[in-house]
Amino acid sequence: MTATEPAPAATDVVYDLEGTLLEACSCGVLCPCWIGADPDGGSCESVNAYRFEHGTIRGIDVSGLSFINVCLIPGNVLTPGSWRVVSFVDDRATDEQYQAIIDAYHGRLGGPLADLAGLVGEVIAIERAPITHETRDGNGTLRIGDVLSADMEPFRSPDGTTITTLRDSLFSTVPGSPAYIARARHHTVNLPQYGMVWSFEGRNAIQSDYHITYTATG
């Protein structure tokens, strides 16, 4: 009798996303959330913004689009089901692209994005909006009309050539990718209908060139 090798498991690339992260919050620099400590002041008001330079979700091309979560985090960032968020999807997205982005970032497709979505207890609203998400010479700019505005700059080495990098942190909004420690010159959110109104200057920011991928095996 001849032994047979088991057939290799089939694999399916669920999502493969590469782009830039711009994040700003109410904490001082550096945000304690990234090392698993409680946020400054006991709660965190933050914005997590992703631009997809190149990317597919379930085979759907989402390159050039952006997605943002505006977040209220009442305590430790790692407490499951504690975040309250309003999600914004780039208004240039087709219905198919819109649904793919929401499915991935709201945790319906599994993988590292599902782990991150598990921290969210309530999605207050999902809106389409024109999003400006730019990184130039290391500086980040984020805009949604009169709803959201942030400008951030990274910390650099004494000679200005190297951006200070955060690696192997306990928490990350871009699992597996290094993050750059930054400062938001200003960070404003104006969503009174959802109880989200704040404005800060000189607070924490994080930037990243990230790559998040998830391949399901079956």
Q: Are 135 and 149 in contact (CB under 8 A)?
A: no
Average pLDDT, the chain: 92
Q: Which residues pair with 57 in a beta bridge?
A: 15, 60
Strands (E), the chain: 11-25, 44-57, 60-61, 66-73, 83-90, 120-129, 132-136, 139-144, 148-154, 165-166, 179-191, 196-200, 203-217
pLDDT at 60: 97
Give pLDDT tens digits for 137-159. Answer: 889 999 999 999 999 999 888 88
Give the span between the Cα atoms of 187 and 200, in whole angstroms: 5
Please name the residues in contact with 59: beta carbons below 8 A apart, sequence gap of 6 or more: none
| 66: β partners | 51
Angle at CA of residue 199, ends 68 and 36, nearest 5°: 60
pLDDT of residue 218: 63
Q: What is the pTM of this model?
A: 0.91
On the CB side of 91, CA atoms within 13 Å amount to 8
Whole-angstrom distance, CA of residue 201 vs CA of residue 30? 14
Residues with Cβ within 8 Å of 136's Cβ and at least 6 positions away in sequence, in order, are: none
* pLDDT > 50? residue 205: yes
Residue 162 in this model has a pLDDT that exceeds 80: no
The span from the CA of 119 to the CA of 102, in Å, is: 15
Straight-line distance from the first to the last Cα atom of the chain, in angstroms, rounded to the nearest whole number? 28
Q: What is the rounded distance in angstroms from the CA atom of residue 200 to the CA atom of residue 186?
A: 6
Note the maximum CA span of the chain.
Answer: 74
- Tens of pLDDT, residue by residue over 41-97, are 899 999 999 999 999 999 999 999 999 999 999 999 999 999 999 999 999 999 999
Q: Check pLDDT > 60 for residue 4.
A: no
